[in-house]
Amino acid sequence: MLNTRSRRLALRLCACLSLMLPLSVMTSHALAEDGVTDNTILLGQTVGLSGQIAGPVKEMNAGAKAYFEHINTNGGVNGRKIEVKILDDKFDPATAAANAAILIKKEHVFALFQSRGTPHTEALLPVLTETKVPLIAPSTGASLFHAPVNRYVFNVRAKYQDEVRRGVEQFNTIGLKDIALLHVDDSFGRDGLAGFNQAMIQHHLTPAAIVTFDRAKPDIAAAVKTLTASTAKAVIIIGSGVTTVALIKEMREQNPTLQIMTLSNNASQSFVDSLGKTGLGVMVSQIMPAPHMVSTVLGQEFKSIAIAQGVSPSYAAMEGFVAAKVMVEGLRRAGRTLTREGLIRALESMRRYDIGGVMLGYSEKDHSGSGFVELTMIGKDGKFLR
């Protein structure tokens, strides 16, 4: 039997062990990164599920979901399955910022994935800096997300300014020198304006007109009236969703011969369907390879997975698909001991990453991703022609 002194020592030892055990468990939990369990990785997304870009977002998210489901079905990433918590920001920048804070601080997501819109993504930047949470593949090509390099933002799509330059070059090549710009009065529109001015100077051209419209309450008739009163033979529209559709329909009424171009943020089948017959001949720049092209590894993979997941191929769906591929590759390279800092370093190690026919790359000094841009035109059958 234990004497009195031995019993006291034994009780003290048990008390110490009982205190130490939960402390060690709590310490272990504190060291685990938010959004990561033994079996799952939780990503967060704030995007306009409702509002004027709901159609393109639905297609984009379908493409991303198809690839994530494909990865999950085949064992996940380093043994973990990907889950995505999505909040609707209704295409409102303030709501996007609030959603990001909720996803990070309350839902405890590991990283943010594929926001949509320039002012909307811009509103997320203070949250990313504060929390040191990376955002992968924002669906915006604004230059402010490329330079200076933001450590927590990894772009996938090309710059809007590159798309605008291609449009000016194309119009100039076919002899349309009187080119106008019609742009939304926000950071998206101003970014497109900067690219337009640079391109016009490069080709020694003078803008036929530069017309702006309000993002929240656009006066379609007034904008088109100003444009029609100019000498413009061609116009580039920097706008989104239903507003761009309304502008094009009004232009067709006022000036049927005007040549029209818009950017890749409108490269969805829902956009084309909304235009109907008025879409014939409208030029749209693309930042992804054609979704129906199977001459590349990427095209073959997209077609196979899209069919298996019941996703209709579209340029918007392809953007989501490619974004998901980049996200997965970054997670894979980050390894089983997954941290946000590890993900950032892993993505920056992707110096020349071939996603199946399109090259993409990052480094500590460059988070631009892809520079792929090509021009398409809406044909009689409501499909994009290359």
> Could you tell me if residue 353 is inside a domain?
yes
More confident residue, 11 or 170: 170
Mean pLDDT of 138-153: 97
Do 142 and 203 sit in the same domain of this protein? no
In tens, the pLDDT along 50-93 reads: 998 999 999 999 999 999 999 999 999 999 999 999 999 999 99
Q: Which domain holds residue 115?
A: 40-158+294-372
In tens, the pLDDT along 103-136 reads: 999 999 999 999 999 999 999 999 999 999 999 9
Q: How far apart are CA 313 and CA 321, in angstroms?
A: 10
Q: What is the CATH number of the domain that holds 325?
A: 3.40.50.2300
Percent of the chain beyond pLDDT 70? 92
Do 168 and 282 sit in the same domain of this protein? yes
Mean pLDDT of the chain: 92
Q: Please report the beta strands in the chain, taking only residues with DSSP state E, as ranges in sequence order.
A: 40-47, 81-88, 111-113, 135-136, 153-154, 179-184, 209-213, 234-238, 259-262, 283-286, 353-354, 359-363, 366-369, 374-378, 384-385
Residues 6+ apart with CB under 8 A from 68: 82, 84, 324, 328
> Could you tell me if residue 201 is inside a domain?
yes
> Could you tell me if residue 101 is inside a domain?
yes
C-beta of residue 294 within 8 angstroms of C-beta of residue 356: no
Which two three-digit tokens encode residue 182? 């019609």
* pLDDT (0 to 100) of residue 11: 45
Do 164 and 282 sit in the same domain of this protein? yes
More confident residue, 14 or 174: 174
Mean pLDDT of 312-316: 94
Out of 226, 259, 286, pick the residue that ends a domain: 286
Q: Is 321 a residue whose pLDDT tops 70?
A: yes
Out of 258, 286, 314, pick the residue that ends a domain: 286
Do 321 and 274 sit in the same domain of this protein? no
Total domains in the fold of the chain:
2
Do 245 and 130 sit in the same domain of this protein? no
pTM to 2 decimal places:
0.88
In tens, the pLDDT along 44-58 reads: 999 999 998 999 999
Q: Is 366 a residue whose pLDDT tops 50?
A: yes
Q: Is 230 a residue whose pLDDT tops 60?
A: yes
pLDDT band (50, 70, 90) for residue 386: confident
Q: How far apart are CA 101 and CA 127, in angstroms?
A: 6
DSSP states of 15-51: HHHHHHHHHHHHHHHHHSPTTB-SSEEEEEEEE-SSS
In tens, the pLDDT along 262-307 reads: 999 999 999 999 999 999 999 999 999 999 888 889 999 999 999 9
Do 153 and 300 sit in the same domain of this protein? yes
Under the phi-then-psi rule, with left for phi > 0, alpha for psi from -120 to 50, and beta for the rest, what region is 219? beta
More confident residue, 175 or 2: 175
Q: How far apart are CA 31 and CA 19, in angstroms?
A: 19
Q: How far apart are CA 353 and CA 371, in angstroms?
A: 13
Q: Is 9 a residue whose pLDDT tops 80?
A: no
Residues 6+ apart with CB under 8 A from 177: 171, 205, 233
> Could you tell me if residue 279 is inside a domain?
yes
Do 59 and 146 sit in the same domain of this protein? yes
Out of 286, 308, 341, pick the residue that ends a domain: 286
* pLDDT (0 to 100) of residue 5: 52
Do 340 and 326 sit in the same domain of this protein? yes
Mean pLDDT of 243-260: 96
Do 151 and 60 sit in the same domain of this protein? yes
